[in-house]
Amino acid sequence: MSDLSGLYQELILDHSRRRVGDGELADPHASHHELNPTCGDEITLAIRLDESGSTIERIGWTGDGCSISMASASALTELATGAEVEQVRRLVDAFRTMMRSKGAGEADEELLGDAVAFHGVSKYVMRVKCAMLAWVALEACVASATARDA
């Protein structure tokens, strides 16, 4: 099973069980539904901004999916809650770059924190979409919440 340890790191398996943020968010500023057509799994992720509109106050999501997708949503919630919108955009970009790396290079641990555990997933091309699911939904939420603001 040693082959799998790069994919299913302890941190991922742990997040997939804890599911931080799992549950519907009341009064969201933006919400987005994302589907993975390969498997039919889906997630609906919502955010609330603080009064200034520049910081993500809360994240909540509901969905069903594999351990990678659930762990990714959970890790994302931990990482992005309380972060500035600009910072979140950088996070999403960095996560996407890491997921496209096919396992090459070093992930930016300073920026991504625990989420670097997903670096190993990038070697499994068929699972990259799993890890991206929540992040794509978050990106769409941020885009629509800030568009509404403007």
Partner 1 sequence: MTLDPTATLGGRLPATLRDQFPYLAQELNGHPLAYLDSAATAQRPTAVLDAERAYLERSNAAVHRGASTLVGTSTGAFEEARATVAAFVGAGDREIVWTENATDAINLVALGMADASAGLGGSEADVFALRPGDEIVVTEAEHHANLIPWQRLAAKTGATLRWIPVGDDGTWGIDDAASVIGDRTRVVAFAHVSNVTGFAAPVADVAEIAHRHGALVVLDACQSVPHRPIDFGALGVDFAAFSAHKMLGPTGIGVLYGREQLLDALPPARTGGSTITTVTMERAEFLPSPHRFEAGTQPVSQAVALGEAVRFLDGLGMGGVHAHEAELAELLVDEVARIPGIRLVGPPPGAPRAALASVDVPGVHAHDVGQFLDAQGIAVRVGHHCAQPLHRRLGLRATTRASAYVYTTADEIRRYGAALAEVRGFFGAGA
Q: Of the ranges 53-61, 64-72, 102-110, 138-146, which one interacts with ligand FES (CB under 6 A)?
A: 64-72
Asked if 41 and 69 touch (Cβ cutoff 8 Å), the reply is yes
- For ligand FES, the binding residue among 9, 31, 36, 81 (CB under 6 A) is 36
DSSP conformation class of 44:
E
CB of 12 to partner 1, least distance (A): 11
Binding site for partner 1 (CB under 8 A): 1, 3-4, 7-8, 13, 17, 35, 37-41, 64-68, 124-127, 130
Number of residues that bind ligand FES (CB under 6 A): 9
Per partner kind, with CB cut-offs from 5 to 8 A, the member of ligand FES, partner 1, none near residue 10 is none
- Based on CB atoms, which residue is closest to partner 1, 10 or 27? 10
Residue numbers 71-130 binding ligand FES by CB under 6 A:
130
Query: Residue 31: beta bridge partners?
Result: 46
Interface with ligand FES, residue 63, by CB under 6 A? no
For 51-90, b/e burial (b = at least 16 CB within 10 A) is eeeebbebbbbbbebbbbbbbbbbbbbbbbbeeebebbbe
Per partner kind, with CB cut-offs from 5 to 8 A, the member of partner 1, ligand FES, none near residue 133 is ligand FES
Would you tell me which residues interact with ligand FES (CB under 6 A)? 36, 39, 41, 65-66, 68-69, 130, 133
